Amino acid sequence: MNTRLDKLLNIKYPIIQGGMANIATGEFAAQVANAGGLGLIAAGSLDPMGLEKEIEIAKSVTDKPFGVNIMLMNPHCDALVDVLIAKGVKIVTTGAGNPAKYIEKFKENGIRVFPVVPSVALAKRMEGLGVDGIIVEGTEAGGHIGELTTMALVPQVIKEVKIPVIAAGGIASGAQMLAAFALGAIGVQVGTVLLGTYECPIHENYKQAILKAKDTSTIVTGRIAGTPVRSIKNPMTKEYVKLEKEGKSMMELESFTLGSLRKAVKEGNVKEGSLMAGQVAGMIEKLDTIENVFEKLMKDCKQQYQNIEEIVNG
Ligand code: TUI
């Protein structure tokens, strides 16, 4: 029998917050925790002192479980791992790379680790190293992504591993959550739907861009440089595509994207900034509280389960 993620992590809902570099502060992670999900401090663009500070803030805002997301392209990763261990963080998710070299350290320190994986091969490797579960992320997701869709990838991973699987990418409604459970996931990770919350510390202009988005509003840049990133189409993505065609180096392209995420989040520069968001941005119609978003996901998931009963049973 599968244990639901809420039971496994001692949280109210089987929902993990996506890493969201530059966005998920200690305060935001704690607010997600208070609303009943697993909140995560995004260490994506933090240095060790910055992470220490955000962990302190999170502890002051919530007494519920929260974790840290390690973005493996961050050059400070080794030191960040030491900080989160010293600060007593007990749950870690990782993204944008292979966390193999840290797994033993996490286990020695009683930390539960859930790497984000974009393929069956990486999922199997992670299981072999003894991780506690994997977050299987489809290409519908925002930010740095893999090639496969959630629908195609989740069942293929589930067939090959015995550890818990959490589905990510393309989940912003109760129906999508139910679909993830139907595929065999024990929980979901959501990011884009949380960009549309009052609590989310992104610039108001970024939020408005999410609310305005439609189904075809996102684009993937960076496939050539090897770091595909999904964001909302704007003059920056147009410029990026141009730079790619001109054959600019991987380094130049990468720093272009990372720098522009800050521009969007902090300055609200929706022309030059990188408005990272998933394909479900088109489903976010109005701002709401994190608590309402989670409650609605759960309620609609249950409702949809009843709605399809007749179709399933005939
Ligand atoms: O990591 C994410 N999403 C992110 S990270 C990020 S910050 C950034 N910005 C610009 C360029 C690069 C990073 C924004 N969004 N999601 C989880 C995720 N992990 N998606 C894909 C992967 C992944 C890719 C390759 C995980 C492992 C992997 O392994 C390759 C290997 O070494 O085997």
Residues with CB under 6 A from ligand 1: 19, 21, 44, 71, 73, 95-98, 116-118, 122, 137, 143-146, 227, 229, 254, 257-258, 276
Cα separation, 169 vs 193, whole angstroms: 11
Q: CA of 10: how far to CAs of 4, 93, 266, 305, in Å? A: 10, 16, 33, 24
Q: Which two tokens stand for residue 196?
A: 């549309």
Cα atoms found within 13 Å of the Cα of residue 22, Cβ hemisphere only? 20
Residue with the nearest Cα to atom 21 of ligand 1?
A: 145
The whole-number pLDDT of residue 2 equals 65
Is residue 221 within 8 A of residue 257, CB to CB? The reply is: yes
Question: Which residues are registered as beta bridge partners of 168?
Answer: 137, 189
The alpha carbon of 221 and the centre of ligand 1 are apart by a number of angstroms equal to 13
Substitution site in 94, 140, 144 for ligand 1 pocket (most atoms within 8 Å of beta carbon): 144
The whole-number pLDDT of residue 252 equals 80
The fourth-level CATH superfamily of domain 5-201+290-313 is Aldolase class I (3.20.20.70)
What kind and span of H or E run contains 100? helix 100-108
The whole-number pLDDT of residue 245 equals 86
User: Tell me: the pLDDT tens digits for 281-304?
Assistant: 999 999 999 999 999 999 999 999
The whole-number pLDDT of residue 225 equals 80
Is residue 211 within 8 A of residue 199, CB to CB? The reply is: no
Q: Which residues of the chain have pLDDT under 50?
A: 1
DSSP 223: T
Cα separation, 119 vs 232, whole angstroms: 24
The whole-number pLDDT of residue 198 equals 98
Residue with the nearest Cα to atom 28 of ligand 1?
A: 97
Is residue 1 within 8 A of residue 30, CB to CB? The reply is: no
Residue with the nearest Cα to atom 14 of ligand 1?
A: 143
Cα separation, 208 vs 194, whole angstroms: 13
The alpha carbon of 96 and the centre of ligand 1 are apart by a number of angstroms equal to 2
- E strand intervals along 122-184: 134-137, 143-144, 165-168
Cα separation, 96 vs 275, whole angstroms: 18
Q: Is the dihedral of CA 229, 178, 69, 118 positive or negative?
A: negative
Q: CA of 205: how far to CAs of 217, 232, 271, 283, in Å? A: 16, 12, 10, 17
The whole-number pLDDT of residue 1 equals 46
Q: Which two tokens stand for residue 161?
A: 């591993």
What is the three-class DSSP state of 92?
strand
Cα separation, 16 vs 167, whole angstroms: 10
User: What are the residue ranges spanned by the domains of the chain?
Assistant: 5-201+290-313, 214-276
Cα separation, 261 vs 277, whole angstroms: 11
Question: Which residues are registered as beta bridge partners of 39?
Answer: 66
What is the three-class DSSP state of 82?
helix
